[in-house]
Structure 1
Amino acid sequence: MILTHIGGPTVLIETDGWRLVTDPTFDPPGERYSFGWGSSSVKLTGPALSVADVGPVDVVLLTHDHHGDNLDVAGRGLLSSAGTVVTTMPGARRLGSVRGLGPVRGLAAGATTVLPGDGTRPSLSVTATPARHGPPLSRPIVGDVVGFALRRSESEPVLLWITGDTVLYGPLRQAAASLAVDVALVHVGGVRFGITGPLRYTMTGRDAVSLIGALRPRVAVPVHYEGWSHFADGPAGLDAALAAAPDDVRARVRRLTLGEPASVTD
């Protein structure tokens, strides 16, 4: 498996002949994006690669479609060239009406879809995993989010788990305890907005360390903690949390250089 961290939550995944992209964000920096209910954030850095640099994409794994730091204007352009888009149920309804898009599959947490092989590559099983993008009772405001667990077959361990934008809460811990995961993409950043004070909308570095300790993947790759003004924890929080983490957790974490393909194969 080769991972290329493009920026924010956006990662090119190359495995078993498949080319997948998570949460495509390719807009330039400098714009302010609204997240609803008076919250907003400025994009501080641009993508390490352009859409053209990425090349052909078989599948987009879109944890949610309604926030500009997970799907922006240029990222929407990528959707039309992808073979399949897998996202939330509400996201599939919204995107299903967009002209020019290919198949859009909506999943609720726990549901599975299969991406069929074609003789040169195996089938991939994609299961949506639970995510809550904020404090308790915030789902009606922040909207639905899912993570994704990829397997070569439903009987095999998880090849790759993408947590999605989520706080650390009961169902996420339960998912971590129930999954045997090789590689995990862990969304971090500790998102906060001035208008909602101390409330957090994604995991902090300390939360990520706790989750990785429970999950025990072979490799854990932190993503979506840099490049935006709403990351209150950000790189510094992740650095501090990893410095204080048990050796076993630190040994599993791999920080990727933006734009550079990295092999994470055992």
Structure 2
Amino acid sequence: MSLARITHIGGPTTLIEVDGWRLLTDPTFDPPGRRYSFGWGSSSVKLVGPALGVDELPEIDAVLLTHDQHADNLDDLGRALLPRVGAVVTTVTGAARLGGGAVGLAPWAVHTLNRPGRPPLSITATPCRHGPPLSRSITGDVIGFAVEWPGQEHGALWVSGDSVLYDGMRQVGGRFDVGTVLLHLGAVRFGVTGPLRYSMTGRDGVELCSLLRPQTVIPVHYEGWSHFSQGRSGVAGAFAAGGLEARWLELGVTGLVSV
């Protein structure tokens, strides 16, 4: 049986360890209490700090960065970490902003990581839309990541990225057999835009997973910031009503996941 070690550090930030590889998603390591601007009059306060500090991380082979333009996915301490990791894979526009050899992927583009003595990791960018229709010019580009390697038993490990539920997300199930999904939720809202949502609700997660049928669903990025309108209890209620079982990872506790 092939196992991955996944540690939920906080927000969207997870450490994924599998077959000698160490991947870090969306590094956010700033302490809580600060308000961050998200542009166009929107802002959010970080309420909970990371379960691990940057100095407690092992050597990181690659950062999978869904987007660089929002502090709840890349904050100051997370940004300072990037030059010290093996590779950074992100959006095309994000790679141009970050420089330093960051790899930019458009949706469905593929980048392969190779290291001696380890299986190659194939990383495919998957589409996201971080808000309602026509919001991309305001919220910016976002991608998810489908990660595959030889010897997987249950299909790709998918990092959904910050997105509402739309056709681009639904297409993932037609292209990949998804075994494990790190599902970004939280139903993000900002007072300045009223009822508009910028990430999935628990009910959206149920609908998406009914199409993908993953073996393991790990909710992430659903609390710890003031802009989330649906926390763990709301997500759990929606999952229970929809018959979807989740694997909840407590912050800082490493879970073993069959992959």
Asked if residue 32 in structure 1 is aligned to residue 35 in structure 2, the reply is: yes
1:45 equivalent among 48, 54, 62: 48
Corresponding pairs, count: 255
Asked if residue 259 in structure 1 is aligned to residue 256 in structure 2, the reply is: no
- Structure 1: how far apart are the matches of 2:256 and 2:55? 22
- Return the offset for 1:157: 6.9
Using the size of structure 2 for normalisation, the TM-score is 0.95
2:13 equivalent among 10, 15, 32: 10
SS at match of 2:38: strand
Unaligned runs of 5+ in 1: none
The AA in structure 2 aligned to 1:104 is: A
Residues 32 and 49, structure 2, Cα contact 8 Å, conserved in 1: yes
- Return the offset for 1:236: 2.7
- Structure 1: how far apart are the matches of 2:18 and 2:212? 22
Two-structure CA RMSD over aligned residues (Å): 1.4
Structure 2 counterparts to residues 69-218 of structure 1, below 5 A: 69-96=72-99, 101=100, 103-118=101-116, 120-152=117-149, 158-218=155-215
- Structure 2: how far apart are the matches of 1:55 and 1:175? 31
Q: Identity of paired residues, percent?
A: 59
Deviation digits for residues 103-161 of structure 1 (CA, Å, limit 9, x no counterpart): 3100000100110131x2111000000100000000000000000001116x9974310
- Structure 2: how far apart are the matches of 1:213 and 1:53? 37
- Return the offset for 1:41: 0.3
Unaligned runs of 5+ in 2: none
Residues 117 and 124, structure 1, Cα contact 8 Å, conserved in 2: no
Residues 154 and 215, structure 2, Cα contact 8 Å, conserved in 1: no
SS at match of 1:209: helix
- Structure 2: how far apart are the matches of 1:165 and 1:42? 18
Residues 87 and 105, structure 1, Cα contact 8 Å, conserved in 2: yes
Give the 4+ runs in structure 1 shifted more than 2 A. 155-159
Q: 1:117 to 1:156 in 2, by over 3 A?
A: farther
Moved more, 228-237 or 29-38: 228-237
Aligned to 1:225: 222
Residues 39 and 195, structure 1, Cα contact 8 Å, conserved in 2: yes
